[in-house]
Structure 1
Amino acid sequence: MIEAPEFDRAIGMELYATSSPGCGGRLRMRSEDFVVEEIYEDQSYRGGRYLIVEVEKVDWEAHHLVRELSRQLRISQRRFSWAGTKDKKAVTRQRMSIANLDEEEISRITLPGVEVGVLGRSNRPVALGDLRGNRFSVRIGEIDLEEVEVASRLNDVTKEIRALGGLPNYFGVQRFGEVRPVTHLVGEALVRGDPERAALTYLALPFPGEPETTRMARSRLLEGRDFTRALQEYPLRLRYERAMISRLSEDGDWAHSFDVLATNLKRLFVHAYQSLLFNRILSERMRLGLPLDRAVEGDVVCFSKGGLPNPDKLQAVDETNLAAVNRLADRGRAFVTLPLFGHRSEFAEGVPGETERSVLGEEGVALSDFRVETNPDLGSPGNRRPALLRVDPAVELEEGSALLKFDLPAGSYATVVLREYMKTGEAGRS
């Protein structure tokens, strides 16, 4: 089993699942090299208060786009809903719903790299549960190998993925922040009961990938806690940070300064810390040689709903049902799960449970800490997530590049697939 590079290990992706050498190369040399399209069940929109649109965007992050759309349409951001956050440096197609908006109003939208098409109207908004998955078409460029060698390596990785039945269902770097991977650090500080450190990590921890003026402004806030000066120095594009700083300048309430953020954004912090721990548990399970595609005694499994894993339906595995569960697993109807720790979580039993307790114990936190007593709106009850990502990539070779096409269920990450083919750490940093 191959150890991953330092960048991956820092977010818990400690191992590669495949042992074949990678092809190297680079991602996202152009936006059109990374295309993502949402997958939905066939739906007909026959009327209702929600206007359903499909948005094709180039190099837009969803929250930023919604903010700009709300300004052009002169409506509240709260009237928008969508099913999932997509990569920023990419061409992405996703659905959104807008409450109480006439179709004619769409013509007012004039944003660069954005096209909006109307699909119809519905009685309910677009929600995460509507999304079945995402379809990816990703080009790896600048591969410095002979084409025969590239073909051999990519083919070997594909064979290994098929033999494994998929890949470890790691959370990719996007979960933690690509330019400033601090989201999980903020969540950790909240779980540990230190909202001041959490807020300052989000607002003021500088990172090399940012402009120097931004890094200097962050550093000065971190050292001096001068909110008035920070509002003068922070660039207008850092709207979320500026909103929090403004709130802090009024009342100095570290824990509730996060309340100025949208609900789905402020909950990302603890979710990212959960994701880090999930990745570590998954890596440890692999290191112990426990299977991802089949259960062992002590595991907790979920079952399929509509062909996809349904973590809301869980069952503990023991000697009495192990064989039956694995018959379902072999047919893609049962899935081993690992915890996203929360204040309502329960540990598995046996070796899987020992692994879960060990990772949490090494962190020095308790399940109850995920309640976040200083601001319960930031906490999480917990959940479970499949350990295995079922994926079957198709590869097309071109001179100096490779095009990978694959579908993933909602909530899984393309970079988790790409890192196995590249084995450079580049998939995480792109």
Structure 2
Amino acid sequence: MHSLPFLTSGLPGIGGNIKTLAEDFVVEEQLLFPLSGQGEHLYVQIEKTNITTMEAVRIICKRLGIAKSAVGYAGQKDARAVTKQYFSLYNVDESSLSKLEGKSLRVLDVDRHDKKLKLGQIRGNFFSINVHGSDGNVENARKILQRLEKNGVPNYFGLQRFGNGGNSHLLGKYLLLTQYDAFAETLFCVHSNDRQKLTTAKQFFASGNYKEAYRTMPGSFEAEKVVLSNLARGKDMKYCVERIPRKIKYFFVCAYQSYLFNRSLVQRLPQIDILFTGDLAMLHPSRSVFLVEDGEKEQTRCLRNEISPTGPMYGYKMICPLERQRAVEDQILREENLDVQLFRNYKIKGERRSYRFFIVDAQVNETLNAINVKFFLRKGCYATVVLREIMKVNSNIPE
């Protein structure tokens, strides 16, 4: 992510940093559908602070005495932030919600609906982000946002897609290519942001002391624990990696898929708002995809931001463009020595992803000690990608 080019490279960024405090990064979900006001599912809008969505789910289940399966949510939100997120609770009495109030959780609103909230069922998110330590040039920030509103924002996958170490995509690649030793070396690679206990466990792995590595490894590192427990029993690496839960391996493979999309987008960036004959274009906001038979004819709609060129989310059934864009996508596969049929092992069919997304209701204001940026993004778009264009400081965009 750090080497990805900016669309607005000709406009100076404001510098600074974000997430100095949780309150500097506020996110509010907007549901995809109206609530009916009746039904067995209690829809609770909760403000959570400095905890992940999964930590919030665990707290909710513990305090209300309900099973995890009774809780629905539309997506996972950052930990270091204040996020206003909906949870559906099956067969829960509203009077018990007072048990949820605490330092990290606060109930904002309550309603009912007849169906459980499922992943992806949000229209998008409102963001309010404070940038501290910038050069204070609000006009530069406004110019960048105006350019992004006109041409769109590069639809990069953000750093958080690639895990705390920034290398989840490599794990996915080695899984697809069944390079198990390379997978293990990457999984247990020491990173500068690792906590001491994690670093110590990885060092035990490197020395071949798998029992001590397993004992030291923090419990939240499930993939590492599975590999170490089986290595300690004398199993070979292929066996150990195959024992990792499928959902974790699926995440790694999807990270690799995202990395490949970013590679394709880098090549298209100078022409992100231009359509060519043979492209596969996406119609906004329906997300339907069609073959561009005449690039010049469709260019007017592209400039009106009604349609956009798309890039590959590779999979074994992904539809492919023609002509120049097909050549670009095939070249990436050759350079990666990758056969898309390997995605079949993880049931990843593939799809097209727009090369750009659009910000709505963007505002920039100067406060007493920060520059505040507000905007709305549809689901699947990364606010940090917008911020990196404004700030031009990659290292301060959190993972």
Q: Tell me the TM-score normalised to structure 1 length.
A: 0.83
Partners of 1:200 and 1:47 lie apart in 2 by 52
Residue in 2 aligned with 1:4?
none
Partner-residue secondary structure (3-state), 1:120: strand
1:190 maps to amino acid: L
Partner-residue secondary structure (3-state), 2:38: coil
Whether 2:377 is the aligned partner of 1:408: answer: yes
1:345 maps to amino acid: M
Partner-residue secondary structure (3-state), 1:153: helix
1:415 maps to amino acid: T
Q: Deviations over 1:132-170 (max 9, x none)?
A: 111111111012x3x4xx134223323332442x21111
Partners of 2:330 and 2:54 lie apart in 1 by 36
Whether 2:260 is the aligned partner of 1:273: answer: no
Partners of 2:222 and 2:332 lie apart in 1 by 36
Give the superposed CA RMSD. Answer: 2.7
1:398 maps to amino acid: T
Q: Is the 8 Å Cα contact of residues 15 and 283 (structure 1) preserved in structure 2?
A: no
Q: Is the 8 Å Cα contact of residues 275 and 296 (structure 2) preserved in structure 1?
A: no
Q: Deviations over 1:362-420 (max 9, x none)?
A: 11111112223xxx3xx511111111111253111235521111111101111111111
Paired residue total = 395
Q: Is the 8 Å Cα contact of residues 395 and 405 (structure 1) preserved in structure 2?
A: yes
Partner-residue secondary structure (3-state), 1:206: coil
Do the aligned partners of residues 387 and 198 (structure 1) sit closer, same or farther apart at CA in structure 2, a change above 3 Å counting?
same
2:158 maps to which of 146, 151, 172: 172
Q: Tell me the TM-score normalised to structure 2 length.
A: 0.89
Residue in 2 aligned with 1:34?
25
Q: Deviations over 1:93-117 (max 9, x none)?
A: 1112233434344333365311235
1:390 maps to which of 358, 367, 375: 358
2:38 maps to amino acid: G
1:159 maps to which of 146, 153, 157: 146
Gaps of 5+ in 2: none
Q: Is the 8 Å Cα contact of residues 66 and 77 (structure 1) preserved in structure 2?
A: yes
Please list, as runs of the form range in 1=range in 2, the aligned pairs for 1:198-347 lying within 5 A after superposition: 198=183, 201-202=186-187, 204-224=188-208, 226=210, 228-238=211-221, 241-242=224-225, 245=228, 252=235, 253-259=239-245, 263=247, 266-286=249-269, 289-290=270-271, 292-304=272-284, 308-310=285-287, 313-319=288-294, 322=295, 325-347=298-320
Partners of 2:38 and 2:230 lie apart in 1 by 40
Residue in 1 aligned with 2:2?
8
Q: Is the 8 Å Cα contact of residues 248 and 254 (structure 1) preserved in structure 2?
A: yes
Q: Is the 8 Å Cα contact of residues 301 and 314 (structure 1) preserved in structure 2?
A: yes
Q: Is the 8 Å Cα contact of residues 315 and 351 (structure 2) preserved in structure 1?
A: yes
Partners of 1:381 and 1:222 lie apart in 2 by 36
Partners of 2:228 and 2:51 lie apart in 1 by 24
In the TM superposition, residue 91 of structure 1 has moved relative to its aligned partner by: 0.5
1:298 maps to amino acid: G
Partner-residue secondary structure (3-state), 1:345: coil
Partner-residue secondary structure (3-state), 1:412: coil
In the TM superposition, residue 427 of structure 1 has moved relative to its aligned partner by: 4.2
Partners of 1:98 and 1:104 lie apart in 2 by 13
Gaps of 5+ in 1: 1-6
In the TM superposition, residue 25 of structure 1 has moved relative to its aligned partner by: 0.8
Q: Is the 8 Å Cα contact of residues 27 and 426 (structure 1) preserved in structure 2?
A: no
Whether 2:121 is the aligned partner of 1:137: answer: no
